Structure 1
Amino acid sequence: MSKYHLLKNEGIMAVKLARQTIEAMLNNETPKRMENLPLNFQEERGVFVTLTLDGELRGCIGYPYPIMSFEKAVMKAAISAAFEDPRFFPVEKKDFKKMIVEVTALTIPEELEPPFMSYANQIQIGKHGLMVEYQENRGLLLPQVATEHGFDPVEFLCQTCIKAELIPMAWKYGAKVYRIEGQIFHEVEPEGEIVEEKL
C-alpha cells in the first residue's frame, strides 16, 4: 500500500458524507452513498469522526486501522460518533443543527524501511503516528501522542509496541512498523465552510 493524502476537495466530501449520514439516521432514512466520490474513497484507511457542540466534545468514534474502505469507515464512524459514543446520549435532530462535524483521515500506513537501526531516522515527531504489528498483535498511536508526552522516536517506537501488548523492543525483533499521518477537516460553523486544520 502506498501513502496517500487527501486533496482539499476530498476532505470536504468526507465531512459532507459524515453530516449527510447522520442526518439520514435522524430522519429515519437509510444513509446513501454520495455520488461521484473519487476512487480513493475505496482505499482502505483509518478515520475518526468528531462532533462538537458550542466548542465542547459531543462524540468521537473512529477506526484507527485500515480495515474497510474510506467511504464506509466515514459513514460507520459518523453513525457511531452521533449515536453510540458511550460518554454521551445519542444526538438529537435539534442539537445536530448546531454541531460542527470534523473528520480526521489517516494516511495509508507506510512500512518503515529496514534495517531497524534506521527506524528512528524515518520518524518525525509531531508529523508521524506509528502502528506496530506482530502476528495477531497490533497497536497504533496517533501523531499527537508523541508530542503530548515528549517522546523521542525511540521511545515512541517502544510505547507503540507496548500499546500492541508486545515487549517495548519488539520493533528490533521482527515486528513490522508503519508510520501514518493524520489530516483534519472540519466545518468552520455548523453546515458551513469546510477547512483543513494544519497540525
Structure 2
Amino acid sequence: MGAMPSTDAIGFLRPTHRRALLDLARRSIEHGSVHGLPLRIQPETLAPELAVKRATFVTLELHGKLRGCIGTLQAVRVLAEDVVHNAYAAAFRDPRFPPVSPSDVERLDIRLSLLTPAEPISFTSEEDLLRQMTVGEDGLILEEGFRRGTFLPTVWASLPDPKTFLQHLKLKAGLPEDYWSDSIKVYRYRTETIDKHSV
C-alpha cells in the first residue's frame, strides 16, 4: 500500500471525499435552518482523509451573488467538522447578510476552500511584496498589530492587479489603502477548491 498524500497538500482528496464534504456543508445549512445549530458529526465515523485537522472557508452564492463567507485560517478542527461549522456560520452568522431563509437553502451554490498552512513572506518593501505575489494562486493574510484581513485566491478573479489586490486587503484589515509600515506581516497560502463543478 502506498503512502497517503500529505493532508497539507493540494489535491489529496478523492472525488468521493469531495462530494461527501459538499454534502455535509449543505446538510449543516439545512439542519441550521430548522434547529439553529450546525450539524453534529462523529469524528470517529469519518474516513481518515476527512478526520485530519484542516483550515477551511465556506463561500455561499445565491443567483450568482455572494451570500456568505466564513472560515478559519488555522487548523483547529478536523476537516469535516470545520466544514459543517463554517457552512452553518456562512449561512446564518455572516454579519454582512441576514440569515439565509429556509426557502433559499436548496438554491445556494456552495464552494469549499481547503487551505494549506500559511507561510510568512519575507519582503523589504511594498514593491518587493508586490513582486512576490502570485496572481491567481496566492491567498494572503495581512497583519498589522491587532488588525488582520485575508483574501482567498478566488478574489484575484475580481482584483487581478497585485497593487489593487493589496490595497483592498489593507482596507479589509481596517487600514488605509496607501498604508505602509515596517511592522506589516504578510502570509501566503494556497487552496483546494471544491464545488459542484469539481466533483
Any residues of structure 2 matched to 1:86-165 within 5 Å, and which? 87-88=97-98, 90-92=100-102, 96-97=105-106, 99-113=108-122, 119-152=129-162, 156-157=165-166, 159-165=168-174
Deviation, 1:131, is: 0.8
Are residues 1:63 and 2:68 paired? no
| Map of 2:9 onto structure 1 | 4
Residue identity in the other structure for 1:123: M
| CA 1:13–1:112: 2 relative to 1, 3 Å | farther
| Map of 1:73 onto structure 2 | 82
| Map of 1:169 onto structure 2 | 180
Deviation, 1:125, is: 0.8
| Map of 2:4 onto structure 1 | none
Q: Say if 2:38 and 2:85, in contact at 8 Å, map to a contact too.
A: no
Q: Distance in 2 between matches of 1:119 and 1:3?
A: 24
Q: Say if 1:50 and 1:59, in contact at 8 Å, map to a contact too.
A: yes
Q: Say if 1:61 and 1:81, in contact at 8 Å, map to a contact too.
A: yes
| Map of 2:57 onto structure 1 | 47
Question: Identity of paired residues, percent?
Answer: 19
| Map of 1:180 onto structure 2 | 189
Residue identity in the other structure for 2:186: V
Given candidates 22, 25, 30, the residue that maps to 1:15 is 22
SS at match of 2:140: strand
Q: Say if 1:51 and 1:81, in contact at 8 Å, map to a contact too.
A: no
Deviation, 1:62, is: 0.9
| Map of 1:32 onto structure 2 | 40
Q: Say if 2:58 and 2:110, in contact at 8 Å, map to a contact too.
A: no
Q: Which has the higher strand share?
A: 1
Gaps of 5+ in 2: 1-6
| CA 1:134–1:75: 2 relative to 1, 3 Å | same
| Map of 1:192 onto structure 2 | none
SS at match of 2:69: strand
Q: Distance in 2 between matches of 1:101 and 1:163?
A: 23
Q: Distance in 2 between matches of 1:4 and 1:22?
A: 27
TM-score of the superposed pair, with normalisation by structure 1: 0.67
The alignment of Structure 1 onto Structure 2 pairs a total of residues equal to 183
SS at match of 2:195: strand
CA-atom RMSD in angstroms: 3.6
TM-score of the superposed pair, with normalisation by structure 2: 0.67
Q: Distance in 2 between matches of 1:58 and 1:165?
A: 21
Q: Say if 2:38 and 2:84, in contact at 8 Å, map to a contact too.
A: no
Deviation, 1:139, is: 1.7
Q: Distance in 1 between matches of 2:167 and 2:38?
A: 43
Residue identity in the other structure for 1:45: A
